[in-house]
Structure 1
């Protein structure tokens, strides 16, 4: 696997799941119900009305969400070009297309052979990203297309993406249907909640604000799950705490129609200027940005 560490185990002939990964054919445990929803305008995780945390919120940094990053015609063209290439069976009921080096994350080894760059249809998308401050100097070295379908039970359990090879910013483009990115944290530390001044809805979350005059409330991080609503054709960037402290997941209950996730990853500090493997990183980046690639 390219984006996450493989956790061992075998795979049956009917699915591509390994370790703790599960699809409908090898059903896993039911996911937690999200009890907070992320508000992009305020940068807050807001307690859901049906949860015990209604009326409470906390700052949730490390998320940049941009709606309608591409238009419907661009979306249709991208998906059409993807479907001209083969999709490989992946874990958790998904299919994938990889454009990047072959990586063994457990042994921390990679091979450049066979990698000839990112696909041509991503060149304009990558260039457009750099117009936003959250993606300044973002140079992707890997692209992974993941195909989700409800009839396959497509999903991905809570996980961290690798941070030996991949850098701080994880960038994903959400195509064909809306979904929810579910965030959770296993920390035993306490999280500080703040009372909210006003009530809102999922459709009008910008009305929320924190009431700093009320005493805060402490709860364990592990009791909190945050839903980030991803509209169709939206772009999301995870960095900082949202990248390294909070795990992310896509639960099958949030896959209502076909969904394609296009994830771009940059190199970690070890492979950039001044890093131990700067030379290898430069070679990978030069290959990636030729935009002449096919799935590997």
Structure 2
């Protein structure tokens, strides 16, 4: 179990002594109950698309072929309008002033569908250092699994909290949500920033600038 406020973790099997696990930041009560209800109501006005492992999703981001390393704006029209105040609050209150999200993925988990997400690492060719997730409607647990070792750590995610993964927690620990940790409907919004290749000075900076301009219009509809 990991307490992100203390920065120490123990494995889920309880066999190891507490150890440091940098790169996990949790902000409890990032949004209010009223804001939570408003956000989910707005999401439910749009279409949820069936996804893998019992999830449903809404994508606000560019069209990407990760295998061929190609990205284009396509039908991407920006992040949704309701996310503007969330991003502004991240900048103002959480020391994330330089966090400029270019993609938002909303996921809908239901125990009736056996919804979960297998342990995985997010792409690091297009997506940058920080993964930021807002957890809505119910408490859950994020499971971190150390690459090559199978060591697991459980990170409690309270309802209405914000989680940031970076550094080792982003690159050397896979993250996932087990089916057993979805007891009722859970919705989350994950925001991703661009990698250095798409930022000023990178070889794809012009394309990155176009993607960022589009994202931050906050006029998007799900693809």
Total equivalences in the alignment: 223
Partner of 1:227: 154
Distance 1:133 1:78 in 2: 20
Which of these residues, 45, 51, 71, is aligned with residue 9 of structure 2?
45
Which of these residues, 140, 157, 166, is aligned with residue 179 of structure 1?
140
What's the secondary structure of 2:217's corresponding residue?
Answer: coil
Partner of 1:4: none
Tell me which protein shows more helix as a share of its residues: 2
Q: Does 1:131 align with 2:92?
A: yes
Alignment of 1:15-164 (within 5 A): 37-46=1-10, 51-53=14-16, 56-164=17-125
TM, length-normalised to structure 1: 0.73
Distance 2:135 2:2 in 1: 17
Preserved CA contact (<8 Å) 1:64 1:236: yes
Q: Does 1:243 align with 2:170?
A: yes
Distance 1:272 1:223 in 2: 34
Distance 1:68 1:81 in 2: 20
Partner of 1:271: 198
**TM-aligned CA deviation for residue 185 of structure 1:** 1.2
**TM-aligned CA deviation for residue 111 of structure 1:** 1.9
Do the aligned partners of residues 82 and 223 (structure 1) sit closer, same or farther apart at CA in structure 2, a change above 3 Å counting? closer
Partner of 1:33: none
Partner of 1:260: 187
What's the secondary structure of 1:96's corresponding residue?
Answer: strand
Deviations 1:193-252 (A, max 9, x none): xxxxxxxxxxxxxxxxxxxxxxxxxxxxx2521000000000000000000010001000
Preserved CA contact (<8 Å) 1:64 1:134: no
**TM-aligned CA deviation for residue 136 of structure 1:** 2.8
Tell me which protein shows more strand as a share of its residues: 2
Deviations 1:99-150 (A, max 9, x none): 0111110010112121110000000000000124552300000000000000
Q: Which moved more, 1:112-121 or 1:124-133?
A: 124-133
Partner of 1:290: 217
What's the secondary structure of 1:135's corresponding residue?
Answer: coil
Distance 1:40 1:134 in 2: 16
Do the aligned partners of residues 144 and 224 (structure 1) sit closer, same or farther apart at CA in structure 2, a change above 3 Å counting? same
Which of these residues, 192, 203, 207, is aligned with residue 280 of structure 1?
207
Deviations 1:14-46 (A, max 9, x none): xxxxxxxxxxxxxxxxxxxxxxx1022320003
Distance 1:137 1:62 in 2: 17
Unaligned runs of 5+ in 2: none
What's the secondary structure of 1:92's corresponding residue?
Answer: helix
**TM-aligned CA deviation for residue 47 of structure 1:** 5.1
TM, length-normalised to structure 2: 0.97
**TM-aligned CA deviation for residue 275 of structure 1:** 0.3
Higher radius of gyration, 1 or 2? 1
Partner of 1:31: none
Distance 2:15 2:81 in 1: 48
What's the secondary structure of 1:253's corresponding residue?
Answer: helix
Distance 2:6 2:25 in 1: 12
